[in-house]
Structure 1
Amino acid sequence: MTLIAPADELSAPPAEAILRRQRVRESAARTYARSFPIVPVRASGMTVEGADGRRYLDCLAGAGTLALGHNHPVVLAAIRRTLDSGAPLHLLDLATAEKDDFTTTLLESLPAEFADGARVHFCGPAGTDAVEAALKLMQTATGRRGTLAFTGGYHGMTAGALAVSGNVAVKEALPSGGEVTRLPYPFAYRCPFGLGGEAGERVAARYTERLLDDPAGGVLPPAAMILEAVQGEGGAVPAPDGWLREMRRITAERGIPLIVDEVQTGVGRTGAMWAVQHSGIVPDAMVLSKAIGGSLPLAVLVYRPQFDGWRPGAHTGTFRGNTLAMAAGAATLRYVAEHGLADRADRVGRFLTGELTQLQQRLPVIGDVRGRGLMIGVELVDPAGEPDACGARPADPALAVRVREACLARGLIVELGGRHDAVLRLLPPLTITDEQARAVLDRLAEAIEAAAREAR
């Protein structure tokens, strides 16, 4: 059967026709496609070119996936070298030279105390599968079911995958479910206790400890605690280093495995190769994805050897590992380390947040500027709204949408996140130049000013 395009599509520009077909063919779950109605045809570094010839500075970078930006030469060379070598591109979980090189490079990049003797489990290609694997691993290791998680946390989109599976033996071998106890994440700008700063941090830690020790607190001994050292989708909220050390102490003293989700924070993003290095904590497991594949799908769970109690096949999958992604990922990890890109992310991040904080002084719609390294959030608020106990004004998601649109019109790609989707999130490649950083600031300032004028 031959499909003939509608007459209006035959006369429409190619990009418009492609976007129209996407709207018709793809599910209503489209997200980025709704925010950025463009058809990229070429990309290099931080620059994306649309089918209409317009160029954009990409401050989304694959939601933090593209540590080196689009089509970095070292990544392309690793992919071409692997293709030209004739290496098998798919071998389930068999050993290959590419996998061996990747695991060696990965373990060398991790904090030495954690990497010593650690086990690497290749998961399905998305970070969410590695999260599921981590939870199931700790349920198996502890014989417990519940999980401690935090307000504002985001760990992926899968839920109930095991529940809808039919293999009874697998279900019995891998306990799932269990209740989630939601704990307060310290958030200086919108402190759950209305305190902010160090006071809010101390109360958050004390609350966690008291709740776990209260025989009438309603919390059964959990299988694990999972957290992000910087909440990404939660609005670029960095956890205080002292609070992270308290979470490590609290969990260690109670025999609760600590899982740190580094899917978005890893590979230099926060100004250290791994976000846990800022606080010096040693978790029991780390969930890694996004940048570790060098722009290709890859996800792994790394954990301390005492938890390696799984039976063969306990968490498996057809696409556990991807030869091209392993080659690209190893090349990316080495490049970030050899060229000091974590330090670069720290320096440029400090510059951007400093300039944005100055911009806040003349643009009261900017309620807060925060983040770590090149993981930055700019929260937009209604300056006429009633402040809360910490002085934070009400979030303004409608303004945030207008700013995002104004950014795109000026050739800048930024996405929203955080509470009420009112936070402009900046996740540029670690290779961003000083000139590009200045251009980002200029375009963002123009967009915020224009959107704020429109709102008046």
Structure 2
Amino acid sequence: MTVPPSIVPPVALPAQATAATTTADGILRRQRARESSARTYARSFPIVPVRASGMTVEGTDGRRYLDCLSGAGTLALGHNHPVTLEAVRRTMDSGAPLHVLDLATPEKDDFTDALFATLPGGFADRARVHFCGPAGTDAVEAALKLTQTATGRSGLLAFTGAYHGMTAGALGVTGSVAVKERVAGGGAEVTRLPYPYAYRCPFGVGGDRGAGLAATYTERLLDDPAGGVVPPAAMIVEVVQGEGGAVPAPDDWLRTMRRLTSERGVPLIVDEVQTGVGRTGAFWAVEHSGITPDVLVLSKAIGGGLPMAVIVYDEKYDGWLPGAHTGTFRGNTLAMAAGAATLRFVSAEGLSERAAVVGARMTARLDSLRADLPAIGDVRGRGLMIGVELVDPEAPSDACGARPADAELAVRVRAACLDRGLIVELGGRFDATVRLLPPLTITDEQAEAVVDRLADAIATVSKDAAQGRQA
């Protein structure tokens, strides 16, 4: 398989400051010397972007990359989309205050109108919105505090494989052991429930049966007087686990979680920080199952590429006192303007439906490569939220037919993708899942190029690995 030449035509990109001519090596060296050891993406991608347009990122050396990271799903329209740029410029030129805490502004009012217009009808009719600090993790904290305040309870139900953020409460409901084990109290008052993961089923059976067992286990546990679960303040769940490896929840299972929580008076929080704004093929991922949550946690794409986070919740839970959840940067006027423009553009242009079509095509093509590329253990996802789990093809399979994850192979594939002009990131339980989060504006030609480059990277790295084992 050969790598196709770049299919991205030359585009008119904004002029850069002369600092952009500084060598990438020098900038990266200074970053290593001055930034914390907790930096992440900078370790995986030794490039220095200076220009970006749509799905294309250009480095200091003039090399271009197809960006399948999209700011971890933040850039629904890609980089520097004309719709968001025009909204930002118009707002700046208007003289509007750019920072007003939580005061009412025309831009905030307009964003709220745009947001509520996208919500499922039954939810929007009784919804309240709270503007949080600019990161999704703060919105998770707000959702947890809201339900704890409303119920007078403290315990929480969360799932294996979950990712909800890095602040204290959000970290508590996050599943990753590595990021929690060094933090005191990182799992306090959280009951961990099994998330249905067909390829690595926690019950060793997979498929619909595994999802059914996960639901049954949850129901029996909650009703067991000796199960150790005190009535909780909330259940928090992702419709598709993002950092967990693009693992989608079956619609029937999600409907069961809604029934279980409703019957027991437990508020249901759905974290749509990464799945929202068309990413999964519906404007909000809950629409696939038809459930109505009590709280939606929203961030990333809702700000049009600028920092913003909110929770939207049923008004019956609005029992907060003034200042119960506050923060300095709740009033990002530019993000509200860019976000409103993005929400309306995604709706008007049918980009949710486009994500469903293109995502299904990419997923099907990737899945068809498994016969020729046995290092591809599983291909999954929903819409343009796709995961390709890489495995050791020579290791024995487990009861579900899954081979051991190969994290080392995945790291090499990520580097090989970058060499081919493709930016992808890893995730999943063992950091062995290649995650694809392209912008909703991806063209058919770009979608083909992404699959071609990824397939070529996997084939090349797998061949090298096999030769290394034989040597």
Q: TM-score normalized by structure 1? A: 0.94
Distance 1:181 1:271, change over 3 A: same
User: In the alignment, which residue of structure 2 is the partner of 1:278?
Assistant: 288
> Whole-Å Cα distance in 2 between the matches of residues 92 and 13 of structure 1?
37
Matches within 5 A, 1:12-51: 14-51=23-60
Deviation at 1:117, TM superposition (A): 2.0
1:423 to 433, 442, 449: 433
Quote the RMSD (CA, aligned, Å): 1.6
8 Å CA contact 2:98, 2:334 repeated in 1: yes
8 A Cα contact 1:294 1:331, kept in partner: yes
**1:43-62 alignment to 2 at 5 Å?**
43-62=52-71
Report the residue type matching 2:397 in the other structure: P
User: Deviation at 1:321?
Assistant: 2.9
CA distance in 2, matches of 1:178, 1:110: 33
Which residue does 1:373 correspond to in 2? 383
Local SS of the residue matching 2:328:
coil
- The letter of the residue matching 1:219 is V
Q: Does 1:138 align with 2:129?
A: no
Q: How far 1:419 moved relative to its partner? A: 1.2
Residue 395 of structure 1: which of 405, 408, 421 is its match?
405
Please list, as runs of the form range in 1=range in 2, the aligned pairs for 1:43-442 lying within 5 A after superposition: 43-159=52-168, 179-442=189-452
For residues 352 and 161 of structure 1, the distance between their equivalents in structure 2, rounded to whole angstroms, comes to: 32
The Cα offsets for residues 1-46 of structure 1, whole Å up to 9 and x where unpaired, read as xxxxxxxxxxx96211001000000000111000001000000000
CA distance in 2, matches of 1:14, 1:155: 36
Alpha-carbon distance in structure 1 between the residues aligned to 2:32 and 2:310 = 33
Alignment identity in percent?
Answer: 77
Q: Deviation per CA, 1:412-447, whole angstroms, max 9, x where unpaired?
A: 000000011000000000000001001111111110
Q: Secondary structure at the match of 2:200?
A: coil
Counterpart Cα distance in 2 of 1:161 and 1:447: 35
Q: Deviations over 1:265-304 (max 9, x none)?
A: 0000000000000000000000000000000000000000
Q: For 2:202, give the aligned amino acid.
A: P
Structure 1 moving runs of 4+ over 3 Å: 160-163
Q: Deviations over 1:215-265 (max 9, x none)?
A: 000000000000000000000000000000000000000000000000000
SS of corresponding position for 1:419: coil
Q: CA separation of 1:178/1:309 partners in 2, compared to 1, >3 Å: closer, same or farther?
A: farther
Offset at 1:177?
A: 9.0
Check whether the contact 1:251–1:258 (CA below 8 A) recurs between aligned residues.
yes
1:299/1:321 contact within 8 Å kept: no
- Deviations along 1:50-86, one digit per CA (max 9) or x if unpaired, are 0011000000000000000000000000000000000
The aligned amino acid for 2:146 is: L
Q: Secondary structure at the match of 2:362?
A: helix
- TM, length-normalised to structure 2: 0.91
- What stretches of structure 2 of length at least 5 have no aligned partner? 1-20, 173-185, 467-471
Is 2:140–2:170's contact at 8 Å kept on the other side of the alignment?
no
Structure 1 unmatched runs, 5+: 1-11, 164-175
Residue pair 2:141, 2:170 contacting (<8 A) in 1 also: no
Cα-to-partner distance string for 1:323-373 (whole Å, 9 max, x where unaligned): 000000000000000000000000000110010011111100000000000
Displacement, 1:161? Answer: 10
Label 1:445 to 1:160 Cα distance change in 2 as closer, same or farther (>3 A). Answer: closer
**Residues 36 and 177 from structure 1, CA distance in 2 versus in 1: closer, same or farther, beyond 3 angstroms?**
closer
SS of the counterpart of 2:168?
A: coil
- In structure 1, the partner of 2:18 is none
Q: Is the 8 A contact 2:390 2:407 kept in 1?
A: yes
For the residues of structure 2 that align with 1:346 and 1:161, how far apart are their CA atoms? Answer: 29
Q: Distance in 1 between matches of 2:49 and 2:132?
A: 29
How far apart are 1:454 and its partner, in Å? 1.4
Q: Which amino acid aligns with 2:257?
A: M
CA shift, 1:115, in A, is 1.0
Structure 1 contact 146–177 (Cα < 8 Å) conserved? no
AA at the equivalent of 1:448 = I
In structure 1, give the amino acid aligned to 2:261. Answer: T
The one-letter amino acid paired with 1:426 is L
Partner Cα separation in structure 2 for residue 145 and residue 400 of structure 1: 39
Q: Which amino acid is the alignment partner of residue 364 of structure 1?
A: P
> Do 2:22 and 2:60's aligned partners in 1 also have CA atoms closer than 8 Å?
no
Residue 136 of structure 2 aligns to which amino acid in structure 1? G
Aligned amino acid, residue 231 of structure 2 = P
Q: d(CA) in 2 for partners of 1:420 and 1:305?
A: 40
Work out the CA distance in 2 between the residues paired with 1:299 and 1:292: 8
Shift of 1:178: 5.5
